[in-house]
């Protein structure tokens, strides 16, 4: 039994993407153009493109077309985890969108991680980290408000957590621990990461500490599984 036409078209486009005919970020020809090229109807082309999207090779942007996905970002997890440095080292351009800055009472998990009393004030920063304009991770960072009273104002100005901590009197910090779990993106997370609902994500829960070992940040990050390669790095 012959493979269906859409499968053959998907295989051809996969080979062309793999050969570099279409590079990460490139827009594929329109459905109409592909239908003419392969001598099929647009429904068959749509089926082939859906198969590529299911495998994470392409992504459809409403009103703009179908684009080849960016290559996975190499992201080391070590004692010094710096988003901008990691993405630059991978040869990509880092950026961040901050969606929430708020001061509120800490919950029980945050109190344990930051060695606070239940209900102590913490600063919460949430947003999305991008590489070459593509979302690779959603994050929530929590800081003891009493130690960094002006932190949120600086983050709103700079968009950088590392620079904001330095401006608040903490020029260096390291990762004390990182826990990783796999899960599926719920609808809200899927929107933030621009992935389908139910797509695989890797969640990290981390605690950063100052040079004396005092906890300064409790962070949760949800990485888009198909866009990031996490590496456990042995750093000094």
Burial tier of 137 (Cβ tally within 10 Å: 0-12, 13-18, 19+): buried
Quick: pLDDT tens for 147-188. Answer: 999 999 999 998 889 999 999 999 999 999 899 999 999 999
Task: Confirm if 173 and 158 have CB atoms less than 8 A apart.
Answer: no
Same domain, 141 and 53: no
pLDDT-above-70 percentage for the chain: 96
- Res 235 pLDDT > 70: no
Give the pLDDT band of residue 3 (cuts 50, 70, 90): low
pLDDT of 133: 79
Number of domains in the chain: 2
Whole-number Å distance between alpha carbons of 188 and 126: 13
pTM above 0.85, yes or no: no
* Token pair 């979302």: residue: 135
State whether 183 and 96 are in the same domain: yes
Q: What is the pLDDT of residue 189?
A: 94
- Tell which of 39, 68, 97 closes a domain: 68
Q: CATH number for the domain including 144? A: 3.40.1410.10
Q: Which of 23, 47, 68 is the last residue of a domain?
A: 68
Same domain, 96 and 162: yes
Residue written as tokens 């390669």? 229
* Pair (41, 80) in one structural domain: no
The backbone torsions φ and ψ at residue 115, rounded to the nearest 5 degrees and listed phi first, read 55, 50
Q: Which of 28, 48, 68 is the last residue of a domain?
A: 68
- 54 neighbors 66 (Cβ within 8 angstroms): no
Alpha-carbon distance of 122 to 172, in angstroms, equals 20
- pLDDT tens for 62-107 read 888 998 876 677 787 878 777 888 888 877 788 899 999 999 999 9
Range of the domain at 60: 5-68
Beta-strand relationship, 73-77 and 94-105: unpaired
Asked whether residue 61 falls in the same domain as residue 80, the answer is no
Whole-angstrom distance, CA of residue 151 vs CA of residue 146: 10
- Same domain? For 78 and 113 the reply is yes
Q: How confident is the model at residue 138 (pLDDT cuts 50, 70, 90)?
A: very high
Q: Does 58 share its domain with 89?
A: no
Q: Which of 2-6, 34-38, 60-64, 165-169 has the lowest mean pLDDT?
A: 2-6
Give the pLDDT of residue 4: 85
Residues 201, 111: one domain? yes
């Amino acid at each position: 039994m012959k493979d269906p036409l859409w499968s053959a078209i998907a295989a051809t486009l996969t080979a062309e993407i793999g050969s570099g005919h279409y590079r990460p970020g490139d827009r594929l020809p329109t459905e109409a153009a592909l239908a003419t090229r392969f001598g099929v109807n647009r429904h068959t082309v749509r089926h082939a493109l859906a198969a590529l999207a299911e495998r994470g090779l392409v992504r459809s942007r409403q009103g703009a077309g179908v684009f080849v996905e960016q290559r996975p970002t190499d992201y080391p997890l070590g004692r010094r985890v710096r988003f901008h440095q990691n993405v630059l080292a991978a040869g990509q351009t880092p950026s961040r969108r901050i969606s929430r800055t708020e001061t509120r009472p800490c919950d029980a998990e945050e109190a344990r991680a930051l060695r606070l009393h239940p209900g102590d004030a913490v600063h919460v920063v949430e947003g999305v980290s991008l590489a070459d304009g593509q979302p690779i991770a959603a994050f929530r960072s929590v800081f003891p408000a009493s130690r960094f009273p002006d932190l949120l104002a600086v983050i709103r100005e700079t968009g950088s957590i590392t620079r904001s901590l330095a401006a608040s009197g903490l020029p260096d910090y390291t990762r004390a621990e990182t826990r990783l779990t796999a899960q599926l993106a719920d609808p809200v997370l899927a929107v933030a990461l621009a992935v389908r609902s139910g797509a695989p994500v890797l969640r990290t829960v981390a605690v950063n500490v100052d040079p004396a070992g005092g906890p300064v940040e409790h962070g949760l990050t949800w990485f888009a599984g198909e866009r990031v390669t996490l590496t456990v790095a042995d750093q000094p």
